[in-house]
Amino acid sequence: MTLPNRRPCVTHSVESDGRKFHFTVGYNPETAEIAEIFGNTGKSGSEAQSLIMDIARDWSKAMQDGAPPEYFATRVTRNDDGDPVSSAGLMADVLLMEANEIL
């Protein structure tokens, strides 16, 4: 799938364990489906930032190849109460929230 250079997106700011994350969910303007996600930890060059960027790139490609956003929420580690353990889990929950908003 090739997306146009400009496309609709929504940015969510999330705080967890005193750290702030910003996740941007991008939409395919032709289908209104979620097509990509970007993440930022606010600490450029950090390992956490690089990890979020790597995961976001892979997840975006998977969504463009047909994986639904809900898929990722079932693939992350969670605490007994269902909260995500990692920043990848936070990103998955943002995707899930966005997917539920457009249903």
pLDDT at position 5 is 77
Give the tokens for residue 38: 């970007």
Q: Strand, helix or coil at 84?
A: strand
Is 9 within 8 Å of 27 (Cβ atoms)?
yes
Interval 18-74: pLDDT, tens: 889 999 999 999 999 999 999 998 778 888 899 999 999 999 999 999 999 999 999
Domain boundaries, the chain: 9-102
Q: What number is the average pLDDT over the span 6-26?
A: 92
Among 30, 35, 31, which residue's Cα sits nearest to residue 9? 35
Q: Which amino acid makes up residue 65?
A: D
Instruction: Name which CATH class applies to 9-102.
Output: alpha beta
H or E element in which residue 14 lies: strand 9-16
pLDDT at position 6 is 84
Q: What number is the average pLDDT over the span 77-87?
A: 94
